[in-house]
Structure 1
């Protein structure tokens, strides 16, 4: 089992996800946390970026997904983000949390979060 992790926390992007027309029209900020599970030993031994995940490029790819095609559910958005993470051959698994702090909830709340875990078969 891989115990190494790379984590991006608090990645912010504006998206138009949700089931309500106002969410699609106005958009809102989404916050993404991602943890990648991988073996970084080879990258560390050779001090070689090509043997790990470039987290700057990953952040840009994740933002493109959030800013891209709208979906009804943040569960769907989380899956799309996990797919981006797992596209890297060195990644064995990923945990993705999508925060929707401005969700249209009619009572006081701090945050709505969907967290999924995905791994290679």
Structure 2
């Protein structure tokens, strides 16, 4: 029996979540001290997160009860907490930590997030640097 290729697994995952319920938070930001350069770790800079939380919202809708969903104000606080936490070199690592923390704390099926670093120390004009990751609950 042949194993599914990575692309086929990725396509199946995309199909499964394409029409799933979701909560989206955009532009959640805080100052963090992340970067390869020592100056980034000393002075800090803004990091902005757009997060899509995948979970079944039908029970919350039927009961009109916040306890049956994810409180997005708490998620925003979690994002701030991780951004302002321990200094890291790479935004890829910060994005991974954000996703892992959200999946650990909240009853999510998956999370997709884009982490923006709009003030990255790049010596040419640019609008933004970002990484986007998608992680499923285990």
- The verdict on a shared fold, with TM-score over 0.5 as the criterion, is yes
* Residue 28 (structure 2) pairs with residue 35 (structure 1): no
Q: Which has the higher helix share?
A: 2
Alignment of 1:61 with 2:78, yes or no, is yes
Q: Superposed, which structure 2 residues align to 1:95-114 within 5 Å?
A: 95-114=112-131
The gaps in structure 2 that reach 5 residues or longer are 1-15
Structure-2-length-normalised TM-score: 0.84
Cα deviations by residue, 1:45-81 (Å, 9 ceiling, x for unpaired): 1111111100001101110110110100001100111
Q: TM-score, normalised by structure 1?
A: 0.95
> Counterpart in 1 of 2:4?
none
* Contact kept? 1:53, 1:90, Cα under 8 Å: yes
Q: Report if aligned partners of 1:39, 1:90 keep a CA contact under 8 Å in 2.
A: no
Q: How does 1:1-121 map to 2 (within 5 A)?
A: 1=16, 3-121=20-138
CA contact (8 A) 1:53 1:88 kept: no
Runs ≥4 in structure 1, deviation > 3 angstroms?
A: none
Larger Rg: 2
Q: Secondary structure at the match of 2:109?
A: strand
Q: Which has the higher strand share?
A: 1
Q: Is the 8 A contact 2:78 2:102 kept in 1?
A: no
- Structure 1: which 5+ residue stretches go unaligned? none
Count of residue pairs brought into register by the alignment: 121
RMSD: 1.1
Per the alignment, do residues 25 and 88 of structure 1 end up closer, same or farther by CA in structure 2, a change over 3 Å counting? Answer: closer
